[in-house]
Chains A and B, each alone.
Chain A
Amino acid sequence: MDGLPILSIVTFVPLLGAFAMLALPAHNTALPKKLALITTLIGFAVSLPLVASFDSANTGMQFVESYDWVGAKDWGFMVSMGLDGISIWLVMLTTFLGPIVVLGAWTSVETRHKEFFFWVLALQTFMIGTFLATNLALFYVFWELMLIPMFFLIGVWGGDDRIYATVKFFIYTVIGSMLMLAAMFYLYTLHHAQFGTWSLQFADLMRLEMGLSVQTWLFLAFAVGFAVKVPMFPLHTWLPDAHVQAPTAGSVILAGVLLKMGAYGFLRLGMPLFPGAVAEWTTVFMALSVMGIVYGALVAMVQPDMKKLVAYSSVSHMGYIMLGIFSMNAQGVEGGVLQMLNHGISTGALFLLVGVIYERTHTRRIWDFGGLAKVMPVYTVVFLIVALSSAGLPGTNGFVGEFLTLLGAFQWATGAAADGAGFWTSYGLVAGAALGVILGAVYLLWMIERVFYGKVLVQKNLHLPDLSLREMAVFAPLLVMIFWMGLYPKPFIDTMEPTLTAWIADVEAGESRTAQLPPQLGAPGMQSWDAWEIETGASKQEWLVALPDRAAEDGATDGALLPEGVTR
């Protein structure tokens, strides 16, 4: 495996397939999907060695590749990729869902098959690229590129209101990304000011010294961009429209992978780069997450359209993920990442299931159904299992993730209440999050009752065919994953644990480091220590020496800040 650019292969195989697709005759309906299936299966197969050769104990980047592609290395742009514990399962999720999406869309595309599968494959590449990028410019490029296939998938093959939905999705996301771009440029100049070279490598950016006020601005800029993608309340309203109007394959990819991008962004960039700001804003983000959980669930409950219901349930589930990530303890963070995988599988499956029924009846309105359990028993069983996984039934994957994130949040609350965030606020937030346990069951079971039980309300539904062999082939791997990750999640957890533990330690260390830096360091005009000294007239030496006194004023009791021998 040495020397083989495995990451590039994994990333670009789908794109190669896409280009090959262009060579196919136009208006052909059979070849594009077959080519797409073969490509995605190959894509999955080449990603398996990543798991096999992955060294869990290594908390840094593995399989690193670095190319000075356009000769812009000195200007900071390099094609550099790496894989670590955070991204490995996300990449695997993407390649795993690839063939499933293609197989799921086998019969539902009605026009322009070639273009459809072209975009699906291109999207695969862009998504994997985002997960693997270790250069901020490359990351940004892939980040924005992802929007293009999605734009077309929704805009061309979507529902009746697709133009509104896709434009909304595009603009919403781009505005967020613009802020991120601005922050990115600032980091670019900051690195040059502090180290003399132009670089956008993640590793280099982590070494930047930024005071709290700079961190706050930059963090919020990045956070807005990521929060739109998560989506966090209240920046979530693009999601229901996008999902409802998107074709099934689009929804599955959107829910399965694209939504993880936001959370991944926080994990990879937002939080490690700006740990001081994270500490300040944790409570706010926890509150937003809890609002997302409860709000998403409540609004899901009253939706008449099944797809919109699942879309809002996504908002609710992503709330759990953010809750776990911001709780900054092993159980919460690992639970959060697990939930990312779980959500991809369960919600992806739900969208596929809704797609099955939509293909047969061309309606997704709940009141158009009823009594389906008698007509399509196998479909009912699959739906029930997936729904229960979404609701976190123990034995399914959803439980492990949900339990861990809530436990993580509870532990956070214990710490936060002690640190002064207020008893009722912190525990109240946890209780609010736990309400998701009840509400999740409510909206899912109510939908199931209205759709599957009772009498068949619409005459022609009496003759609906049950799941075909192909459809079963789509759901079987998902069901296997649901139970595997629910009962034996050990391999998944063990692979990511060292990396995530190190991540938590890094962010916490970053927090205390930030406390030692002057807040203004990094601001325009004061980007390096020298500039800061010039601007403020103070001296770096004095600042560092005066740290313990300042810490005592602020009420910090961390003895690590005290030089040897000094007592209070």
Chain B
Amino acid sequence: MPLEHLLLFSFLLFSLGVAGVALRKNLLVVLMSVELMLNAVNLAFVGAARLIGGHDAHVMVLMIYVVAAVEVAIGMAIVVNMFRQKETISVDSFDAMRG
């Protein structure tokens, strides 16, 4: 498979992820979009691994998965807490850092 297809696909996924973070109101969806971005990056690394060879890229992929897992766990915990505070998980309601 041509590498450029893979990279393009990765780029598209990444942009979707960015769009999701920027445009969606639901905090859970934002989290999911962040996951999407991470996975898109992972994809790019996989392609790079095929290109370059060697172990380094594979290691990166695994590392990113670990980080993503941890991040999701903590992120979900924070979201649950935020819901408990405000009874909503709409991004717009959390503006305590105004000013």
* Direct contact between the two chains A and B in their complex (CB within 8 A): no
Interface residues of B, Cβ cutoff 8 Å to A? none
- By a beta-carbon cutoff of 8 Å, the part of chain A in contact with chain B is none
